[in-house]
A and B are shown apart, each in its own frame.
Chain A
Amino acid sequence: MSIGAFLLRRLGGGLLAIVGVSILVFAFLHIVPGDPVDHLAGGDATPEQRAKIEKCMGLDKSLPGQFVQFMGHVVDGSLGQQCPDPKGKPTVAGRIWEVFPHTLWLALAGMLVAIVLALPLGMVAALRRGTWVDTLATTTSLSMVALPQMMFAPLLLFWFFVTLGWLPGPTEVGPTAIVLPAIAVGTHLMAMLARMTRSSLVEVLGEDYVRTARAKGLPEGRVLVGHALRNALLPVITVVGLQFGSLLSGAVIIENVFARPGLGTTLLDAIRERNYPVVQGTVLVIAAIYVVVNILVDLAYGLADPRIRRG
C-alpha cells in the first residue's frame, strides 16, 4: 500500500472517529438531566437573561439544529460561542488556544524527563539481564508504574517547594515552574518506557542478525548501537508517540495538583459549569489530537522500519 492510500484510509477512519465522539458527547450532554442555563445564569436570573443565554448557546433550537450549528462552528473554526462571554474570550477556540501552550509544554517536558531516564535504565537492565542490576531496574520501573500520581505529585510539591524551597509552587510562573510537574508526569511514563526498552532489547539481542554482527567481529559497541538498538527502539517509538498523544490531551491530575491551566482542566471545569459549547469544543480538539498523533506514530514507524513500508 502506498503512503498516499494509507494516509487517506487512516484520515478517513480518524474523521469518522472524531465525528463519532462528537455525536456521542452531544447526545450524552443532552440525555443527562441538569439545565445549563441554571448553572451559567445563577438562580436569580431574570427570564430575559435566561433567554439570552439560551439563545447564545443555541438551546432554543431543536436537537438536530443544535448539532448542525455546532458543526457549522467547527467549520468556521470558532468551535462555538462562550456564553455568557467570561474572561473576554468570545469563542471556545480562543479559550482552548489560551491553555494549549501550557499543555504542550508540560507534555514535551514530561516526555523529555521520561526518555532521558528510561532509555539508560532499560538498556542497562537488558544488557545485565538476570543480574541484580536487572532486578533492581525492573523492580524500580514496576513500582513506578504502580505509584499513584495523586500521592507522588503532592509529595514532590511538599519536598521541593515547602521544605527545601528549591522550586516554585503552584500558580507561580517562571522558567522553573515546569520542573516539578514535568518530573511528576515523566516518572510515570519513564517506568513504562524502561520496561518496554528492556523487553524489546532483550528480544533483539537474541536475534540472528545480532549474532551475525558479533560473529563478523564488530566491536560490541557498534553491535549494540548499529544493530540492536536501532531495532529495539521501534516499539518504544510507538509507545512514546501514543503517550505523547495522551499527554497532549491534558494530564488532569498533575494540572489539578499544580494548579496549572490545560486542556484536561478546561474540560473538567466546562463539564462542571455545564458549559456545553466548551465541552463539545474541547472534546473535539482532544479527539483530533489523538487521531493525528496516532497517524503520525504509524508514519514514523514506517519511516524507521523499512520492513513495514514494504508490507
Chain B
Amino acid sequence: MKLFTGKLRLWTSAWVGIVMMGTFILVGIIGPWIAPWDVGPTSLDLAHRFEGPSAQHWLGTDSKGADTLSQLLWGARSALQLSFIVTLISTAIGVALGVMAGWFRGAVDEVLMRIVDILMAFPGILLNIAIVATVAQPGIGVMIVALCANGWVGYARVARGQVLALRERDFVAAAVALGASNRRVMWKHLVPNSLGPVLVQMAFGIGSVIMIEAALSFLGLGPQVDYTWGAMLDQARTFLWKSDWVRVYGLVAGVAIMWVVLGANLLRDGLNDRLDPKQRGR
C-alpha cells in the first residue's frame, strides 16, 4: 500500500508538471494569434485606463488602456521564446564543456572548474543585472547573452558528474578498446547516457529563466515593451495605489509566472523520482 501511494504521488507530480508546462507552451505558441487586441503602441486608449473586466476586455486594461488578456498572451510568447532559447544554448554549452572536462580530465577539467568556481562565487542575478545594465539598449539579444553567461554552469556540473561516473563503466572501456575516437566516445556514449539528469536540470532551468527575466524586466532592465510579465508586474507596482484593478492586473502576470515555475518544479521533482529510484517517495 505504501509503495502504491508512493508511486501514485510521483506520477501525480510529474503529470501535473507536464500539463502545466504544456499549457504554457501551447499558450506561448498560439497566444499572439488568439489575443483579442493589439499590444503595441497602437493599443493606446487613455479613455479606458485600469478598467475592470468587461465584454471587450475580459481581464480589464492597464495604465495605457491596453487589454490585459492580450498582454498576458503576448507575454507568454516572449517568456516561451526567451526561456527556450536560453535553456537550449545553456544546455549546449554546459553539456559540451562538462562532457569534455569529465572525459579528458587534467588541464581541461582544472580550467573549467576554476571558471565554474568564479561564476559560482557571485550571486547569479547580480551578474545578469550587471551584463544587461551596462548595455545602453536593453533588448532580447542582450537578455539572452546575460542569462546564458552563467546559465550553462549548472548543466556543465551535471554533465561532468555523469561522465565521471560513466567513464568507469564497461561499455565505455569496451568502446575505447575497440579503437573508438574521443569524439565518437563522447558523442555516441557519454552524451546520450548523461542526458537524463540534464533533462531534469532543463525542466528546472526553464522555470528559473522565466523568474529571472521577470525580475530584470521588473527592475526596468528588460526589453522596453509593456507586454512581458515582468514589465506588467512593474506597472502594477507603480500604480498600486490607483485602483483595485491594478492589483488584479499585477496578479494576472504574477500568477502566470507562478504557474510556469510551479510546473517546472513539479516536472523536475517527478522526473527526478523516475530517474533516481532512491529518491522515490521522499
Write the residues of chain A forming the contact surface with B, with a CB cutoff of 8 angstroms. 13-14, 16-18, 20-21, 24-25, 28-29, 32-34, 130, 142-143, 145-152, 154-155, 157-158, 162, 199, 202-203, 246, 249-250, 252-253, 256-257, 264, 267-268, 271-272, 274, 279, 283, 286-287, 290-291
Contacts and interface: CB of A to CB of B under 8 A. Distances in A.
A34 B137 CA distance: 11
Interface in B89-140: 114-115, 117-118, 120-123, 125-126, 129-131, 133-136
B27 interface: no
A252 B125 contact: yes
B126 A151 contact: no
B244 to A, nearest CB: 10
A252 B250 contact: no
Interface of A is mostly: helix
A246 B258 contact: no
Given A151-B254, A286-B126, A287-B122, A256 B233 contact: no
18 contacts: A16-B117, A34-B136, A146-B262, A146-B265, A147-B258, A148-B261, A149-B215, A151-B236, A154-B250, A162-B240, A199-B282, A250-B123, A252-B126, A267-B129, A268-B129, A274-B134, A287-B121, A290-B122
Given A14-B121, A25-B130, A154-B236, A146 B258 contact: yes
B131 A256 contact: no
Contacts of A16: 114, 117-118
A147 B261 CA distance: 8
Given A142-B262, A148-B233, A250-B126, 15 more contacts: A17-B120, A20-B117, A34-B136, A142-B266, A148-B257, A148-B258, A149-B215, A150-B214, A151-B250, A151-B251, A154-B236, A155-B247, A203-B282, A249-B126, A253-B215
A150 B238 CA distance: 12
Secondary structure dominating the interface of B: helix
Contact of B123 (A25, A272, A290): A290
A268 B121 contact: no
Interface of B: 2, 5, 114-115, 117-118, 120-123, 125-126, 129-131, 133-136, 207, 211, 214-215, 218-219, 230, 233-234, 236-237, 240-241, 247, 250-251, 253-254, 257-259, 261-262, 265-266, 282
Contacts of B207: 146
A199 B273 CA distance: 13
A151 B253 contact: yes
Contacts of B236: 151, 154
B219 A252 contact: yes
Q: Which of A150, A162, A199, A257 has the most CB of B within 10 A?
A: A150
Which of B5, B125, B130, B131 has the most CB atoms of chain A within a 10 A radius of its CB? B130
B5 A24 contact: no
B135 to A, nearest CB: 6
Contact of A158 (B136, B240, B254, B265): B240
B133 A272 contact: yes
Contacts of B253: 151
